[in-house]
Amino acid sequence: MCGIVGYVGRQTAAPILLEGLRRLEYRGYDSAGVAVLSGSEMQLRKKKGKIDEGLAKSLQAQPLAGQLGIGHTRWATHGPPSDENSHPHLDQSGRMAVVHNGVIENFDRIKERLMEAGHTFRSATDTEVLAHLIGDHYEKLKGDQSEASVRLTQAVLSALREVIGTYGIAVVCTDAPGIIVGARRGSPLIVGLGQNENFLASDVNAVVAHTQQVVYLNDYDVVTMTADRFDVASLGADTAKVQISQVEFSPEAAERGKFPHFMLKEIFEQPATVRNALRGRIDSDEATAKFGGLNMSMAELREVDQIVLTACGTSWHAALVGEYLLEDFAHIPVEVEYASEFRYRHAPLEKHTLVVAITQSGETADTLAGLREAKRRGHKALAICNVVGSTIAREADGGIYLHAGPEIGVASTKAFTSQVTVLTLFALLMGRLRMLPVRRGMEIIRALEAGPGQLESILQQNERIKRIAQKYARAQNFFFLGRQHGFPVALEGALKLKEISYIHAEGYPAAEMKHGPIALIDPNTPSVVLIPSDSMYEKTLSNLEVVRARNGPVIAIATEGNATIAKQADDVIYVPPTLEPIFPLLAVVPLQLLAYHVAIERGCDVDKPRNLAKSVTVE
Ligand code: AGP
């Protein structure tokens, strides 16, 4: 997902833009660039490749003067990664520069019209067309006597009225050297408020080192920003609603600290982040859970007769954990839907169906579309989300924040355990509003409260898990097997390994192996088997033995105290005993560490895996 940074103030802009772009690297990108105004001069630098390999070296060799500029990290959608296709893009006059996150769907028709009017293009991107379109509208406004800054904002507004698609943009023009114009529809954009300086960015990570006062722009907002003020107009029917928010985490939270990778840091943060997810949400007197932001009465929650959990990727795996929990605790029918499918299916929903969007970033385009589809059909829509002020968090009718702090590693880890924690609490609440007895409620609460300490003990096995990972790091295929509450964890373990080590891995219900996949088992195909000492133990063990009988290596994730499993598996990683429904919270951590160490052993870029973006805001 592309990243945008803008700065206007008293400091030299280029170093601030570069630092902001570095803080957005986790979003995934293949090129980067800046445009800095120095007086009436447009200074453009843009390079394919990582920031440190291209853009940073260029700026170091020839620094740019100027106190206003915009920057961009590009995740290619239209046109391959190249210097020419990198942003910023200039308009026909060369006096205007634009950076963009999103997809302009009607760019080809606009390009055709502009070419007929004599425009020439250097790149294959939709963004360059947008730059020329804004420039074209700006030229047509030259006749009136208004200030260049007013004309620039007007040109952006009128150009965007022609655009179909999604955008988060920043625009600068040498005729108006003191302002930056920003706009958003479908891609996030925030204003960071400083002292005699202001910032524009795709997310707060890019500005949190300078300010914790931000304005989350809404779709159709167009902001005109100078060093001393900002004004927001709206392309939509409503007038712009401006609300200044306080960023809830410190700049250090977005730093790697003593860890070699953000992913490892975030794995080790999980005892603390699970505590954050639990904090203030346990009602021991009533053996239930409580939330401040559901915006639903207990009566409305009791009326819910079906729940749809919609999400993507790791969040979809958390949703699957939620399905088992809600059915177990509350006996509510649950559908777990890939958001990209849910938005187009005509799934029959009940009158009181509650739709819950689960998302770390709050910006995933498919999940946002799923939420909007649910609301369009008149259903209550909640969001379980990590990023305060994100689009999905703001468009939902209510929701639950994870309070996990920024998750920078592309592979989601602490967000998953926080989502599972929140879903366990939500299932407890829904269960206690129905038939779940006090005693069971207290058992669940005690198991949750023991979770962070148990995670600490699992993390102490890091070095041992590293050795196991090194033993299997050359495999080309992996299976992850689990039953019941362990099945979604098997899927999550497979995704973690796939996305950071590039090894092909599949998760399956353990019993499903005998219906075909077992044909793939051989001595070079390890299977990770989630086999807690629970009600399914004997059946899972027989599935494990079927794999071993075909010389398939087995790594067992088992419950502490089970000595016999060591004779039935090649390697064992133990987790502390807990209630069956709480097992996912613990069992996922060994799989996160396994994936991390396998990827390191294979020399992969753990925090920025190839082809991936942290949050996918395109469909
Ligand atoms: C998980 O490790 C991946 N980074 C990806 O599957 C991610 O979970 C998915 O894109 C959903 O993102 P979200 O939670 O921000 O909506």
Lowest mean pLDDT among 187-196, 237-246, 313-322, 372-381: 237-246
What band does 348 get if pLDDT is binned at 50, 70 and 90?
Answer: confident
Strands (E), 465-618: 477-482, 504-509, 527-531, 554-559, 571-575
CATH number of the structural domain spanning residue 29: 3.60.20.10
Between residues 144 and 428, the one the model is more confident about:
428
Query: Counting atoms of ligand 1 from 1, which one is nearest the CA of 612?
Result: 4
Q: State yes or no: pLDDT of 570 exceeds 80.
A: yes
- 511 and 466 in a common domain: yes
Residues with Cβ within 8 Å of residue 168, at least 6 apart in sequence: 2, 4, 100, 101, 102, 182, 183, 184, 185, 186, 187, 188, 189, 202
The average pLDDT across 481-510 equals 97
- Tell how far the Cα of 339 is from the centroid of ligand 1, in angstroms: 12
- Residue 450 confidence (pLDDT): 98
The average pLDDT across 555-574 equals 97
Range of the domain at 318: 255-456
Helix boundaries (H) for 23-145 = 55-61, 107-116, 126-140
Provide the token pair at 100. Answer: 């963009």
Between residues 254 and 222, the one the model is more confident about:
222
In this structure, are residues 158 and 149 in contact, taking their beta carbons and an 8 Å threshold? no
The residue assigned the tokens 């293949």 is: 30
What band does 256 get if pLDDT is binned at 50, 70 and 90?
Answer: confident
Give the chain's domain count: 3
What band does 519 get if pLDDT is binned at 50, 70 and 90?
Answer: very high
- Residue 378 confidence (pLDDT): 92
Predicted model pTM: 0.84
Residues with Cβ within 8 Å of residue 297, at least 6 apart in sequence: none
- Residue 153 confidence (pLDDT): 95
- Tell how far the Cα of 315 is from the centroid of ligand 1, in angstroms: 6
- 503 and 407 in a common domain: no
The last residue of a domain, from among 431, 456, 481: 456
- Residue 424 confidence (pLDDT): 98
Per-residue pLDDT tens digits for 54-70: 899 999 999 999 999 99
Per-residue pLDDT tens digits for 90-142: 999 999 999 999 899 999 999 999 999 999 999 989 999 999 999 999 999 98
- 465 and 443 in a common domain: no
Q: How far from 398 is each of 152, 279, 369, CA to CA, in Å? A: 37, 19, 16
* Nearest alpha-carbon partner for 595 in 451, 415, 472: 472
Residues lining ligand 1, CB < 6 A? Answer: 312-315, 359-361, 364, 367, 410-412, 499, 615-616
Which residues are annotated as catalytic? 2, 614
Q: State yes or no: pLDDT of 465 exceeds 90.
A: yes
- CA atoms of 63 and 41, how far apart (whole Å): 14
- Tell how far the Cα of 568 is from the centroid of ligand 1, in angstroms: 35
- Residue 253 confidence (pLDDT): 78
Provide the token pair at 101. Answer: 């996150």
Query: Counting atoms of ligand 1 from 1, which one is nearest the CA of 367?
Result: 16
* Nearest CA residue ID for atom 7, ligand 1: 313
Indicate the top mutation candidate among 75, 187, 309, 314 to test ligand 1's pocket, ranked by most ligand atoms within 8 A of CB.
314
Q: Which residue type occupies 567?
A: K
- Tell how far the Cα of 314 is from the centroid of ligand 1, in angstroms: 5
- Residue 617 confidence (pLDDT): 67
The average pLDDT across 154-183 equals 96
Between residues 470 and 252, the one the model is more confident about:
470
Helix and strand element counts for the chain (H, E): 19, 26
Indicate the top mutation candidate among 27, 361, 495, 605 to test ligand 1's pocket, ranked by most ligand atoms within 8 A of CB.
361
- 287 and 161 in a common domain: no
- 466 and 449 in a common domain: no
- Residue 33 confidence (pLDDT): 97
CATH number of the structural domain spanning residue 510: 3.40.50.10490
Dihedral (CA of 299, 300, 305, 308) sign: negative
Q: State yes or no: pLDDT of 577 exceeds 80.
A: yes
Query: Counting atoms of ligand 1 from 1, which one is nearest the CA of 613?
Result: 4
- 174 and 230 in a common domain: yes
The last residue of a domain, from among 204, 227, 247: 247
* Nearest alpha-carbon partner for 397 in 345, 351, 354, 335: 354
- 349 and 482 in a common domain: no
What band does 349 get if pLDDT is binned at 50, 70 and 90?
Answer: confident
Bridge pairing between strands 213-216 and 244-246: antiparallel
Indicate the top mutation candidate among 27, 315, 386 to test ligand 1's pocket, ranked by most ligand atoms within 8 A of CB.
315
Residue 544 belongs to what H/E stretch?
helix 537-548
Q: State yes or no: pLDDT of 336 exceeds 80.
A: yes
In this structure, are residues 298 and 269 in contact, taking their beta carbons and an 8 Å threshold? no
- 344 and 262 in a common domain: yes
In this structure, are residues 481 and 493 in contact, taking their beta carbons and an 8 Å threshold? no
- 260 and 129 in a common domain: no
Please give the mean pLDDT across all residues of the chain.
94
Per-residue pLDDT tens digits for 597-619: 999 999 998 988 887 777 776 67
* Nearest CA residue ID for atom 6, ligand 1: 313
Planar angle of CA 291, 582, 404, nearest 5 degrees: 50
Query: Which percentage of the chain shows pLDDT scores above 70?
Result: 100
Q: State yes or no: pLDDT of 143 exceeds 80.
A: no
* Nearest CA residue ID for atom 16, ligand 1: 359
Q: Which residue type occupies 361?
A: S
- Residue 418 confidence (pLDDT): 98
Query: Counting atoms of ligand 1 from 1, which one is nearest the CA of 495?
Result: 2
- CA atoms of 478 and 589, how far apart (whole Å): 17
Per-residue pLDDT tens digits for 407-447: 999 999 999 999 999 999 999 999 999 999 999 999 999 99
The last residue of a domain, from among 430, 456, 482: 456
Between residues 52 and 222, the one the model is more confident about:
222
In this structure, are residues 409 and 393 in contact, taking their beta carbons and an 8 Å threshold? no
- 166 and 28 in a common domain: yes
- Tell how far the Cα of 1 is from the centroid of ligand 1, in angstroms: 12
- Tell how far the Cα of 312 is from the centroid of ligand 1, in angstroms: 6
- 264 and 326 in a common domain: yes
* Nearest CA residue ID for atom 3, ligand 1: 411
Query: Counting atoms of ligand 1 from 1, which one is nearest the CA of 312?
Result: 11
- 361 and 321 in a common domain: yes
What band does 39 get if pLDDT is binned at 50, 70 and 90?
Answer: confident
Query: Counting atoms of ligand 1 from 1, which one is nearest the CA of 392?
Result: 16
Beta bridge partners of 167: 185, 186
- Tell how far the Cα of 137 is from the centroid of ligand 1, in angstroms: 38
- CA atoms of 437 and 453, how far apart (whole Å): 26
Strands (E), 186-225: 190-193, 198-201, 213-216, 221-225
- Residue 87 confidence (pLDDT): 94
Largest distance between two CA atoms of the chain: 85
Indicate the top mutation candidate among 360, 610, 617 to test ligand 1's pocket, ranked by most ligand atoms within 8 A of CB.
360
